[in-house]
Structure 1
């Protein structure tokens, strides 16, 4: 089984890239963030023609999440019972005995801002939900754009990013509380090259210089760790014309 996550930063713009990527890599599941489409505009046929069922929760211009999968998804979740958020950032499904939660975590704007406080509360509520859900479904995957670099090894220059948004201690602690429920960062289960990132700013030649952050994650529960055979970042789509600022992350399972 192959599972991937990709913040496409507008599915309207990036649809041909996503379709081409699906045809090359053939994942069983692809979670998308920042689709930036209302549900009425979602291009179901483009994916259905290629054997994928699509579930989505979108809004015009901003945010939006979707999941493409080979199997028929069950128990679709677009809002958590303890988190009221008009922004479309959460989408969950069940496939057999495996649950999957696709997240587009708020950016937080800047440390100390109202949006930052909201981000920390948002992550705390997701953690509370996952704590209950994991007790019922031991095989659980949480993936997406977390807008948090887990550690200094996930940052091109930790000194520049020290205690700034995406890298502040409270954000990392909020992510760690989710991991402490029994989740593992699948990327770190395997030996990886240094300076491996999934996001690069459009400005300043950041991609060419590899000035990036690893903020796109696939977290897997303890029950799935023995099944995980690899995890990698595919930088190729970031080399295309008009790319997303994020690259896909792929985890494979036996």
Structure 2
């Protein structure tokens, strides 16, 4: 099973690029973040023409996630449990071919301190609680998406420049480690030890040509999914195209059960 995650920074604005990439790469499951449209406005028909079942959770102009799958998605969950009053569209989860898969868009959290940072930390606590529930089921689980977390100093071009940023704050990184300590495996790092592997490059300050990036898009796997881990790679190609998203896709491969 090939699963891709990609913060597309507007599904409609990037649609031709996304369609071209899907035709070339043909993942079995695709996780989008920042679709930036209401659910009804998501260009589902374009993806259905490629053979995907579509589950999108959107809101006007901001956030939004989607889970596309060639096999039908079952038992779809459209909100992260734990805070019923939270209306932000940041989570969708479903079972596809026996694997429980989520597309998540974790809050950015800036500026620090402030309510946005407090919301980020609460959201991570909710994700921890939900991940613990999923792990208790002892099934293959894949939590993929834009975590807005720089796990280690080597995952950012300048640790000093991001020392006070919500993505790199000690509190944020500690909560990410807490997820791993539950027994989740961070797929890319399980297979690669490189120090300049990035998934995001800002539009400003020549970040892309200078390779001033961040690695903030991740796959976390339950033990049952980690046992099937066959590959995890960052496809830098789409970031170099005209009118690209500021993120690039990450592709996970799981062996058959």
Residue 182 of structure 1 aligns to a residue in which SS?
Answer: coil
Query: What's 2:16 paired with?
Result: 16
CA distance in 1, matches of 2:80, 2:212: 35
CA distance in 2, matches of 1:173, 1:67: 28
Contact kept? 1:39, 1:57, Cα under 8 Å: yes
Give how far 1:9 is off. 0.3
CA distance in 1, matches of 2:83, 2:102: 14
- After TM superposition, where is structure 1 displaced by more than 2 Å over at least 4 residues in a row? 191-194
CA distance in 2, matches of 1:193, 1:136: 33
Equivalent pairs counted in the alignment come to: 254
In the superposition, the TM-score normalised over structure 2's length comes to 0.96
Give how far 1:137 is off. 4.3
Decide which structure has greater helix share.
1
Query: What's 2:133 paired with?
Result: 132
Query: What's 2:248 paired with?
Result: 247
Query: What's 2:172 paired with?
Result: 171
Residue 135 of structure 2 aligns to a residue in which SS?
Answer: helix
Query: What's 1:31 paired with?
Result: 31
Query: What's 1:235 paired with?
Result: 236
Give how far 1:97 is off. 2.8
Contact kept? 2:105, 2:147, Cα under 8 Å: yes
Q: 1:95 to 1:203 in 2, by over 3 A?
A: same
Query: What's 1:58 paired with?
Result: 58
Give the unaligned 5+ runs of structure 2.
none
Residue 15 of structure 2 aligns to a residue in which SS?
Answer: helix
Contact kept? 2:138, 2:224, Cα under 8 Å: no
CA distance in 1, matches of 2:74, 2:198: 32
CA distance in 2, matches of 1:19, 1:172: 34
CA distance in 2, matches of 1:93, 1:67: 8
Query: What's 1:46 paired with?
Result: 46
CA distance in 2, matches of 1:12, 1:155: 29
1:183-235 Cα shifts (integer Å, max 9, x gaps) = 11100111343311000110000011111110000111111222111111111
Pairs within 5 Å for 1:54-133: 54-84=54-84, 85-133=86-134
Which stretch of structure 1 is more off in the superposition, 50-59 or 136-145? Answer: 136-145
1:29-82 Cα shifts (integer Å, max 9, x gaps) = 010000011111111211111111110100110000001111100010011331
Contact kept? 1:97, 1:137, Cα under 8 Å: no
Query: What's 1:181 paired with?
Result: 182
CA distance in 2, matches of 1:75, 1:6: 22
Q: CA RMSD in A?
A: 1.1
CA distance in 2, matches of 1:220, 1:133: 11
1:137-165 Cα shifts (integer Å, max 9, x gaps) = 42111010000011111111112212322
CA distance in 1, matches of 2:185, 2:192: 14
Pairs within 5 Å for 1:156-167: 156-167=157-168
Residue 203 of structure 1 aligns to a residue in which SS?
Answer: coil
CA distance in 2, matches of 1:234, 1:123: 27
Contact kept? 2:71, 2:97, Cα under 8 Å: no
Give the unaligned 5+ runs of structure 1.
none
